[in-house]
């Protein structure tokens, strides 16, 4: 992974984060970890540290009315959400990490080394780690809470014509051939030009669950993301294809650095998916992506009629809670 782009929505967790999530009961941090909204990594060293201090943690928890058995259960739940990496993965960065940590706490070396290798921040409440950040990146708890709360403000619903939307990218619910012969696809081609279809066809096959980015031609958008909802043109589909296409479009938006993306109803035309079902599936996939990734910063759901507009609004209200 070294040398790749920095992941956003993935963090290295240190031991104090796990202890904070264990105590007190029903902590906000614990809820976030168990929700799966973040991809969590830790060196296997964390398990050794946790074992070393476990009896002290239990004693502290019992003073706050948390039983040993309950604490054990919560610990197992929390640890199941973490990807533990062996020392060999970050060994190449150990000396660099030690040089950073020796002036404040050598025990932080494995966490800093893993952070350097994976190029993701350390989620921590440790004042020393926060204070000395520079050669490695950190995220404090307040920053984490603020980031997750902001997700509610990243999705909007509008009524109108998607070909007139100003966004970095608009989504075309395509077929695997890239042919733009009807529905939203035809509207995009008519407004943006034949070159959009020519480029999409050249990139075919675009299988269900994948997407291709093309020019936006004369559209106000910068690009069109062709996310396949069906194998053949005018094919009836199910809600699973809606999920796969939405997921693929969001993934491409992040990959290409698009800050804004506009979706029509995916599969609600010739695909035959009921609008409420499609809207719920789309919002679930969009929210799951935004909980992990910084891009796109803004998602616009564009409804061509009142029925779809209401379906999007209901789904957004449900997911926003």
Q: Is 2 domain-assigned?
A: no
Same-domain pairing of 189 and 47: no
Is the pLDDT reported for residue 4 higher than 50? no
Helix (H, G, I), strand (E, B) or coil at 173: strand
**What's CA 49's distance to the chain center, in Å?**
29
Residue 51 and residue 138 in one domain: yes
Crossing angle for the helix pair 28-35 and 141-149, nearest 10 degrees?
60
Secondary structure of 258-310 as H, E, C letters = CCEEEECCCCCCCCCCCHHHHHHHHHHHHHHHHHHCCCCCEEEEEECCHHHHH
Instruction: Quote the pLDDT of residue 321.
Output: 53
For residues 163 and 79, membership in a common domain is answered with no
> Are the C-beta atoms of 1 and 93 separated by less than 8 Å?
no
Handedness of CA 261, 225, 197, 307 (dihedral sign): negative
Residues 165 and 124 in one domain: no
Do 135 and 229 lie in one domain? The reply is no
In a domain, 4, yes or no: no
Same domain, yes or no: 192 and 242: yes
Whether residues 237 and 141 share a domain: the answer is no
| Reported confidence tier of residue 150, pLDDT bands at 50, 70, 90 | low
Name the nearest CA neighbour of 196 among 181, 214, 222, 182: 214
pLDDT digits (tens, 9 = 90+) for 283-299: 999 988 887 777 888 99
Statement to judge: residues 254 and 123 lie in one domain = no
CA distance 23 to 57: 8
Which CATH number goes with the domain that contains 199?
A: 3.40.220.10
Per-residue model confidence as pLDDT tens digits over 200-257: 999 999 999 999 999 999 999 999 999 999 999 989 999 999 999 999 999 999 999 8
Domain boundary among 150, 167, 188: 150
Dist. CA 71–CA 42, nearest whole Å:
20
Which residue, of 117, 150, 183, is where some domain finishes? Answer: 150
Residue 295 is assigned to a structural domain of this protein: yes
User: Lowest mean pLDDT: which of 106-120, 123-137, 169-183, 236-250?
Assistant: 123-137
> Which residue pairs from 92-95 have beta carbons closer than 8 angstroms and sit at least 24 positions apart in sequence?
92/2, 92/117, 93/117
pLDDT value of residue 140: 85
CB atoms within 10 A of CB 175: 27
Any idea what the CATH number is for the domain that residue 39 is in? 3.40.50.1010
Residue 88: which domain range? 10-150
Would 24 be classed as within a structural domain? Answer: yes
228 inside domain: yes
Q: Are 280 and 314 contained in the same domain?
A: yes
Are residues 265 and 213 both part of a single domain?
yes
The predicted model scores a pTM of 0.58
Q: Could you tell me how many residues make up the chain?
A: 321
**Does 78 fall in a domain?**
yes
Q: Of 253, 258, 249, 254, which Cα lies nearest the Cα of 281?
A: 249
Q: Domain for residue 1, yes or no?
A: no
The DSSP secondary structure of 51-108, one letter per residue, reads HHTHHHHHHHHHHTT--HHHHHHHHHHHHTTEEEE-HHHHGGGHHHHHHHHTTT-GGG
Same domain, 183 and 120: no
User: Is 258 within a domain?
Assistant: yes
What's the total number of domains in the chain? 2
């Amino acid at each position: 992974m070294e040398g790749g782009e920095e992941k956003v929505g993935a963090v290295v967790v240190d031991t104090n984060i796990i202890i904070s999530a264990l105590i007190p009961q029903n902590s906000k941090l614990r809820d976030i970890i168990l929700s799966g909204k973040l991809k969590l990594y830790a060196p296997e060293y964390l398990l050794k540290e946790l074992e070393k201090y476990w009896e002290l943690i239990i004693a502290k928890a019992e003073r706050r009315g948390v039983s040993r058995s309950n604490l054990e259960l919560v610990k197992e739940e929390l640890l199941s959400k973490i990807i533990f990496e062996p020392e060999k993965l970050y060994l190449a960065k150990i000396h660099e990490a030690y040089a950073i940590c020796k002036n404040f706490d050598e025990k932080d070396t494995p966490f800093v080394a893993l952070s350097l290798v994976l190029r993701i921040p350390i989620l921590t409440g440790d004042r020393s780690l926060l204070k000395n950040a520079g050669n490695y990146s950190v995220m404090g708890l307040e920053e984490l809470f603020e980031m997750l709360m902001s997700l509610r403000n990243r999705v909007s619903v509008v009524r109108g014509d998607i070909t007139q939307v100003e966004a970095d990218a608009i989504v075309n619910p395509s077929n695997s051939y890239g042919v733009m012969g009807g529905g939203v696809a035809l509207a995009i081609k008519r407004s943006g030009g034949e070159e959009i279809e020519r480029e999409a066809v050249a990139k075919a096959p675009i299988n269900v669950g994948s997407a291709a980015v093309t020019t936006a031609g004369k559209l106000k958008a910068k690009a069109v993301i062709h996310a396949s909802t069906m194998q053949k043109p005018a094919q009836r589909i199910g809600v699973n294809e809606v999920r796969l296409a939405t997921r693929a479009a969001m993934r491409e938006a992040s990959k290409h650095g698009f800050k804004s993306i506009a979706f029509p109803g995916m599969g609600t035309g010739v695909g035959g998916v009921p609008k409420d079902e499609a809207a719920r599936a789309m919002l679930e996939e969009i929210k799951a992506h935004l909980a992990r990734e910084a891009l796109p910063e803004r998602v616009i759901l564009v409804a061509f009629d009142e029925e779809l507009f209401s379906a999007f609004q209901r789904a957004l209200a449900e997911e926003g809670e």
